Amino acid sequence: MDLDPSAEEIAFREHVGRTIKERIAPRYPEWRDNNTTPREMFEIFGEEGLLGFSEADGSFRHTPWLQNIHLYRELAAYSGGLAIATFVQGNLGNEAFYLFGTDEQKREYLSPGIRGRRLFAFANTEPYAGSDASMIKAQAVDMGDHYLVNGSKAYITNADFADDIIFTAVTDPKAERPHKGISMFIVPGDSVGLTRTRMKKYGWKESHLCTLQFDDVKVPKENVLGKLGRGFYQTMELFNNGRIGVASLGFGAALGAYKHVYKHAVKRKAFGMTLIEHESKRNEFADNIARLQAGWLMIQKAAFEADRGRDFKQYASLAKLFNTEEGMRISLWAVITMGARGVIMPNPISDYPHDSLVSLIGEGAPEVQKKVIAGHLDDLLDAL
């Protein structure tokens, strides 16, 4: 793996930095005060080509992961809420249409989606089916010319304002194994019988987390996304890809917290010297910068393998596990090191531990990542 970034990667990162500084930062205080992710943000990122894909002559190109990781890292270091909302649009919504959509569905949904003009949510999790995605209970019954959907979804980002919701439901309750009876669908967000409710939460503040209730919602047959009975497998493919992004979110939270506390430590005096001059604190800063370096290398490795079309899921799980766990530890250490300032509003450093906590859970809890990693121990040992 070449650790020198390509010219394209450097240009992409600089473009991300300029976009955040010039187009997001001036508007962000209002968004934060209103505790919201506005449509305006998606339109900005769409105009700047930062929603995961580009389009030319009717064909679509996936933004390489070695570039995308810079977007999520820089954005999460600035605002975890805006970062996860952007991730859901780009690498769950747009990605689902890119991977599984028909040509017609790509024209209808993906083309405006990558421009931020049509917004998506992805709904798989249910109140009693999270990490075990095969145990969902929502059902889509074949009624001849349409499906009739009943059930509920929970913890769905962007769902209350999404124009369209991609969701999974059981289409074959008699399948020999539960995961083989699940399919994926598209439904308009304003469908009759669909109730959307925003949830209160800690972490990723500006993003909207929602519950969905389906009560006899009609879904046309042409709104099946991908193949009937392949919804579980399609969901797992999206989650495997998405773990690189969530690892970057965890890393970004840790990086943002570290930068804030470092600026504090070189100025704040205690017992006649700055914090950074105390040997114990210098050791803590050294330990944590080493962890950040290790975490970023793991993310780069997963992105490198994914961009080359190789089996990368074990590297994505390694990166996600390490960076979200370390992100939580580093961000909490940063708040403690800030002292009372760390818990006084509006100091942004207090947001990072909450952001790290939800990144730890998203796209599969730590136990799920360990299960994936343990299944590839021989390969990982050989690679060493």
The residues facing 120 across adjacent strands are 164
Q: Which amino acid is at 88?
A: V
Q: Which helix (H) or strand (E) holds 246?
A: helix 231-265
Pairing outcome for strands 120-123 and 164-170: parallel
Rg (CA), the chain: 21
Are the C-beta atoms of 218 and 191 separated by less than 8 Å?
yes
Q: Which stretches within the chain are classed as H helix? A: 7-19, 28-33, 39-47, 65-78, 80-88, 95-100, 103-105, 111-113, 231-265, 279-307, 313-338, 351-361, 366-374, 377-383
Distance of CA 116 to the CA centre of its chain: 16
8 part of the active site: no
Q: Which amino acid is at 23?
A: R
User: How far is residue 367's CA from residue 206's CA, in Å, rounded to a whole number?
Assistant: 27
The residues facing 250 across adjacent strands are none
- 110: DSSP letter: I
Query: Which listed residue (40, 279, 363, 367) is catalytic?
Result: 363
Are the C-beta atoms of 152 and 126 separated by less than 8 Å?
yes
Pairing outcome for strands 146-157 and 194-199: unpaired
Q: List the catalytic residues.
A: 363
